Amino acid sequence: MVVRATAAETMILDWLAAQRPAMLALLEQLVNTDSGSYDKAGVDQVGAQIRRFLGAHGIAHDTIANDTFGDAIRATVGEGSNTSILLMGHRDTVFPRQEAARRPFRVDNGRAYGPGVADMKAGLVMNAFVLAAFEKFGAPAPVVGLFTADEEIGSPSSRGLIESEARRARAVFNSEPGRPSGNVVTGRKGGVFMRFEVTGKAAHSGANFSDGISAIEELARKTIALHALTDLAKGITVNVGLISGGQTVNTVAPWAKGEIDLRYVTLADREATMGRIGEIIATSFVPGTSTIVEITGEFLPLVESTEGRRLFDLYSACARELGLKVAGEFTGGCADSGFAAHAGAPTLCATGPIGARAHTPDEYLEIDSIVPRAQTLALAVMRVGGG
């Protein structure tokens, strides 16, 4: 199967191939542990399972504590160079407590199911085993594994750590799930998530209608203006995805609030569109209303670059050697890879095992993809590490 791999490479690839049952056992354990982003105890429990694995394989690691979200884990194998190769993954899922009890890990017809099985507990397992292989057989350069806590909510506690590790990385692989086609992701949109709140004035809608100032009308007019900023040709979308407001049916609404999701391709488009959003927020379409807005979360875009392209070429050549066909894709979904790329590191995303339908009960993982994706990643790390 392996055409050009060296003896050292073959040793690692063969070892990874033999780990399939152990990979599935660790995956089952992680999936059966609830770890919603705001569930610190659960995210830390998944962290304890990963630390146990790292410890059992003699992998040096430290824990970066956080009071609000799960603690971050940083594992390191190999030494020698002052640049590293970074493997990233997040431990949190979008699912509530008890989800794992309701639909625990199961395998049916070559697919594994369960909360977060593809997004991205399989990627965590893959990264952990690739680190173990390099600990056992020797790493080509320092390889750092980050197991972070809160990607699904914009990585408020992980962003700084990701950026500082990416700044000294010569390559970053983010093990979000590979596409059903087997493709990886070479470009992602950036996203800004905002909350806005409109204040009007309450009045009895029968007796004193004219005294009222409707916050709901203002929110409706703002929503129409915000949606008009969408420019599909440029990849800019503005979506007011949540609204609420008002007091009772017979009261002119004294308040209303909504949440905005902006997606864009370039940072220039971010600046321009944020400016327009600011103008719309500042405009009172209904005289007498006032509005405040705040950013609640943000992802930077994974901008396609020459260095990123080179890393993709290297990765896809490794995949080809292992008999896999991998192309690069652009997606509107956001991920931590944008932070790494913005910090200046050549970055590839969705290098994890193949899966789909993330964030739904139908999420699945192709279990036969775990070993080949681990092998491709390991080979790519060796080739990057060898210069």
Q: Which stretch binds Zn ion (CB under 5 A): 12-20, 116-124, 234-242, 309-317?
A: 116-124
What is the secondary structure of 141-174 as a DSSP string? Answer: S-EEEEEES-GGGT-TTTHHHHHHHHHTEEEEEE
Q: Which stretch binds Zn ion (CB under 5 A): 105-113, 120-128, 264-272, 366-374?
A: 120-128
By CB under 5 A, tell whether 363 contacts Zn ion: no
By CB under 5 A, tell whether 119 contacts Zn ion: yes
How far apart CA 317 and CA 379 sit, in angstroms, is: 10
Task: Give the shortest CB-116-to-Zn ion separation in angstroms.
Answer: 8
Task: Give the shortest CB-145-to-Zn ion separation in angstroms.
Answer: 16
Task: Give the shortest CB-202-to-Zn ion separation in angstroms.
Answer: 43
What is the secondary structure of 296-355 as a DSSP string? Answer: EEEE--B---HHHHHHHHHHHHHHHHTT----EEEES---THHHHHHTT--EEE--SSBE
Helix (H) or strand (E) holding 20: helix 20-31
Beta strands, E only, the chain: 60-64, 72-77, 84-90, 106-108, 111-113, 143-148, 169-174, 184-188, 190-199, 203-204, 237-245, 251-252, 255-264, 290-299, 328-331, 347-349, 355-356, 364-366
Q: Which stretch binds Zn ion (CB under 5 A): 55-63, 73-81, 119-127, 197-205?
A: 119-127
- Taking the least distance from each CB to Zn ion, the nearer of 238 and 358 is 358
Task: Give the shortest CB-125-to-Zn ion separation in angstroms.
Answer: 14
- Taking the least distance from each CB to Zn ion, the nearer of 121 and 222 is 121
Task: Give the shortest CB-258-to-Zn ion separation in angstroms.
Answer: 26
**Of 366, 361, 376, which is closest to residue 118 (Cα–Cα)?**
366
- Taking the least distance from each CB to Zn ion, the nearer of 9 and 176 is 176
- Taking the least distance from each CB to Zn ion, the nearer of 135 and 176 is 176
- Taking the least distance from each CB to Zn ion, the nearer of 119 and 217 is 119
Q: How many CB atoms lie within 10 A of CB 146?
A: 24
Q: How many CB atoms lie within 10 A of CB 285?
A: 15
Cα angle vertex 368, ends 363, 374, to 5°?
95
Q: Please, which of residues 162-221 interact with Zn ion by CB under 5 A? A: 176
- Taking the least distance from each CB to Zn ion, the nearer of 217 and 336 is 336
What is the secondary structure of 54-73 as a DSSP string? Answer: HHHTT-EEEEE--SSSPPEE
- Taking the least distance from each CB to Zn ion, the nearer of 13 and 358 is 358
Q: What angle do helix axes 20-31 and 122-137 make, rounded to 10 degrees?
A: 140
Residue nearest to Zn ion (CB): 119
Strand, helix or coil at 19? Answer: coil
Task: Give the shortest CB-120-to-Zn ion separation in angstroms.
Answer: 4
How far apart CA 215 and CA 198 sit, in angstroms, is: 6
- Taking the least distance from each CB to Zn ion, the nearer of 29 and 331 is 331
According to CB under 5 A, which one of 46, 100, 120, 169 is a site residue for Zn ion?
120
Q: Is the bond preceding residue 194 a cis peptide, omega within 30 degrees?
A: no
Q: Which stretch binds Zn ion (CB under 5 A): 112-120, 156-164, 238-246, 365-373?
A: 112-120
By CB under 5 A, tell whether 149 contacts Zn ion: no
Task: Give the shortest CB-336-to-Zn ion separation in angstroms.
Answer: 8
- Taking the least distance from each CB to Zn ion, the nearer of 119 and 269 is 119
Task: Give the shortest CB-50-to-Zn ion separation in angstroms.
Answer: 16
Task: Give the shortest CB-176-to-Zn ion separation in angstroms.
Answer: 5
Residue 261 near residue 191, CB atoms below 8 Å: yes
382 is written with which tokens?
A: 């060796």
* Total of residues contacting Zn ion (CB under 5 A): 3
Task: Give the shortest CB-178-to-Zn ion separation in angstroms.
Answer: 12
- Taking the least distance from each CB to Zn ion, the nearer of 9 and 92 is 92
Q: Contact positions toward Zn ion, by CB under 5 A?
A: 119-120, 176
